[in-house]
Structures are given as C-alpha cells and as structure tokens.
Amino acid sequence: MTTPAPPTERETLERYEKRGGLLRGHFRLTSGLHSDVYLQSALVLQHPEDAGALGEGLAAAFRDEGVQTVLAPAVGGIIVAHEVARALGVRALFTEREDGVMRLRRGFTLGAGERCLVVEDVITTGGSTREVVQCVEEHGGVVVGVGSLIDRSGGTAAFPVKRVALATLAATTYPPEFCPLCKTGSVAIKPGSRT
Ligand code: ZN
C-alpha cells in the first residue's frame, strides 16, 4: 500500500482558502481584537475529504514515533485527533475543561507509559496543547509529539518534544484602538455575519 505524500504548506493553506476557512483582510474577531487574517478550521473540517487528507498528512510525520493514542482538546481538535488516529490505526481521545482544568472525561483512560500524540487544529499560544500535555502526564502517559494543522504562534509556542505543523501562518492581532488597519480608514468585518 502506498501512502500519499503529505500535503505541502501551500496545499494545506489552499484547502483552508477553498473552504473559506482562511480569509485575509481586516477582521473583528470574537475576542474583540482586530486581525489581518481570519482562520476557522471548522469550515475546512466540515468536509470529511479535507479532514481526512489533513489528518493523514499530520499522521505521516509521526508514523515512526510508536504513537498509541492521539489526543486533542475539545471541541476544535476532536476531528483532527480522529483523522490522525484513523491514519495511524490508534485511538482518538479528547480532553475537556471541567472547572477550568483540562481533564479526560467520559471514561477515557491511558495506560502507564502509553505513547501519546497531542494535536490541535491551530496552535496560537500553545496554551491548550500544554494543558493537554499536562493532563496526559497526570494520567501516566508519555507525550511523544505535538502536531497542528496550522501554527500561528510565530514560533513562540515551544515544546520539548517533536513538533510538526502542516503550515505556519503569520497573523497579527491588535486591540481596536491600536489597529493599523483601522488607521487607514478601513472597517473591520466580523466574519460569518452579513452586516
Ligand atoms: Zn482594525
């Protein structure tokens, strides 16, 4: 059986663009910040063909790591974990925040020393991934890698394990009062709204 070549950075971003999951312009994000890039993985991952191809691509980078289980933070990472796990032939689990703490719920368990891969759709600060890593370690698992479809951390999210992203994306956010795009007279758009 031949494995298809992993998608290149360009192919990954093209999948996002084709599905409207990556827009460039002047946006008002849910957080209230303004940005020159709008990223919404759910618009890509709603298409199983795209989710499968991206999952296979990320899985390919970790094929030799002896991964036994793939984990992701709910909700955004669940489909990514599922598709990566499918490609590796292993389990896909997800963590959820309970009282502000990332936990394994729903009867999910890890064996002692179980080799885990933590994935996300997009790594921004790396905070969620770090919480999942901590959760895995508390359950006796060993994190052997960290993967994301897109890295928009600008290289600031570092982990002491193998780290792979299919694409990196420079995206800058600004408080509205400091937004250079606003200063040019442009008006920020809230993606997904028609107003
Ligand atoms: Zn602005």
Q: What distance in angstroms lies between residue 122's CA and the mean position of ligand 1's atoms? A: 22
For residues 29-45, give the mean pLDDT: 92
Tokens coding 193? 């709204």
User: Per-residue pLDDT for 33 more than 80?
Assistant: yes
Q: What distance in angstroms lies between residue 24's CA and the mean position of ligand 1's atoms? A: 13
pTM for the model stands at: 0.90
Q: What distance in angstroms lies between residue 30's CA and the mean position of ligand 1's atoms? A: 13
pLDDT in tens, 101-159: 999 999 999 999 999 999 999 998 889 999 999 999 999 999 999 999 999 987 777 88
